[in-house]
Amino acid sequence: MKNRIIVTGGAGFLGSHLCERLLGEGHEVICVDNFFTGQKRNIVHLMDNPYFEVLRHDICFPLYLEADEIYNLACPASPIHYQRHPTQTTKVNVNGSTNMLGLAKRIGAKILQASTSEVYGDPTVHPQKEDYWGNVNPIGPRSCYDEGKRCAETLFMDYRKQHQLGIKIVRIFNTYGPHMHPHDGRVVSNFIMQALRNKSISIYGNGSQTRSFCYCDDLIDGLVRMMRTPDDIIGPTNLGNPNEFTIKQLAEQVIELIGSKSRIDYLPLPQDDPKQRCPDITKARTELGWQPTVELKEGLIKTIAYFDGLLTENPNL
Ligand code: NAD
Ligand code: UDP
Ligand code: UDP
């Protein structure tokens, strides 16, 4: 069946892959984005498709459209972006999510929230399961994002309770791949850009902190599977790759794959930087029949090719 689907944040890294996947399946897609961190480059290849529409709109303001499903991805995701505009970040999560929930309620659409592993903060439980309540600083530099996303989850659950809305919540762990913004400061894009230019690799702290990196295609498949689950499956459900690496291991892997001459530079660790992060994906395995299939090395090779292409096009990037 052909659906009309709204993707907020559709011009961003993940949103653009999601739009492409849904259009590929024959759906009609409305990408709603204010281009705060999104880029035209990510969606330009979709513009010729007559079933693709782009709306430049800030979801903190009301939106009146008709659709069958809404994927709510609008929110800056990289620490340097959300920390540069902290109040805007909380607002998109609280006011923006409220508007999208109000829209879903009016038109009877299913709505999926892209939540985050950041709701677990600097976790004291490892790996993180969905029933862990987290260890979050409410007034630190990451709070606008962490607490904003936690409040959005509360709103989603309460709209279901109060208005019987069809909701889904996924908690996304670190994801990487083509279409990441080259300057958004996230670790995978930073390391690849630095290594391609033979510049020093910036490790914050001693590099012993861990993350688990999921390739974008795997993640998008998880989002779509979640949206299509029966009504009684609402999450929150972790989506991420359970293979955990230290940041130092990531740096070494990137240098090796590129054959770069870069050396490693150790810089101060940012405040409240989580020491370890790894998803327990038992719930996603059982409820969605989902697990990642792309190994870090394979995903890094594709991502390196993307950034290499960007640099060839524009060496001064
Ligand atoms: P991104 O910054 O590339 O994309 C976010 C998109 O939202 C951008 O296109 C931006 O312009 C748009 N946007 C921001 N504020 C908006 C507003 N007020 N109105 C309309 N559009 C707005 O980030 P991403 O990595 O693609 O992340 C997408 C979603 O997934 C985010 O909600 C993020 O919190 C979540 N997430 C991502 C990761 C990850 O590792 N990539 C991890 C956890 C959660
Ligand atoms: N809203 C929207 N589009 C719609 C319906 C509602 O943007 O199609 C917004 C509306 O402006 C409101 C918010 O969603 O601020 C929440 O709507 P809801 O109906 O839940 O709340 P209420 O209007 O009753 O406060
Ligand atoms: N990081 C790093 N060098 C960089 C960028 C990030 O060492 O150039 C570290 C960062 O301190 C964190 C990890 O890599 O421990 C992941 O950072 P990212 O910003 O990608 O995501 P998040 O902290 O939100 O998981």
Q: Is 145 one of the annotated active-site residues of the chain?
A: yes
Task: Tell me the average pLDDT of the chain.
Answer: 97
The closest alpha carbon to 309, from 196, 153, 184, 209, belongs to 196
**What ipTM describes this predicted complex?**
0.97
Q: Domain limits of the chain?
A: 4-179+214-242+280-293
Q: Which of 21, 37, 144 to mutate to test the pocket of ligand 1 (most atoms within 8 A of CB)?
A: 37
199-211, pLDDT tens digit by residue? 999 999 999 999 9
Alpha helices in the chain (DSSP H): 13-24, 79-84, 86-91, 97-107, 143-163, 187-196, 216-227, 247-258, 282-288, 296-313
Q: Does ligand 3 lie within 6 Å of residue 180's CB atom?
A: no
Q: What pTM was estimated for this model as a whole?
A: 0.97
Q: Please tell me the predicted confidence (pLDDT) of residue 232.
A: 97
Q: Determine the CATH number of domain 4-179+214-242+280-293.
A: 3.40.50.720
Asked if 170 and 218 count as a contact pair (C-beta separation under 8 A), the reply is: no
The pLDDT tens digits of the residues spanning 81-114 come to 999 999 999 999 999 999 999 999 999 999 999 9
Atom number, ligand 3, closest to the C-alpha of residue 78: 19
In the structure, what pLDDT confidence band is assigned to residue 188 with cuts at 50, 70 and 90?
Answer: very high
pLDDT value of residue 167: 98
- The CB-side HSE value for 65 (13 A sphere, CA atoms) comes to 26
Specify the amino acid at residue 86.
P
User: Before 127, cis peptide (omega within 30)?
Assistant: yes
* Tokens 């019987």, located at residue: 164
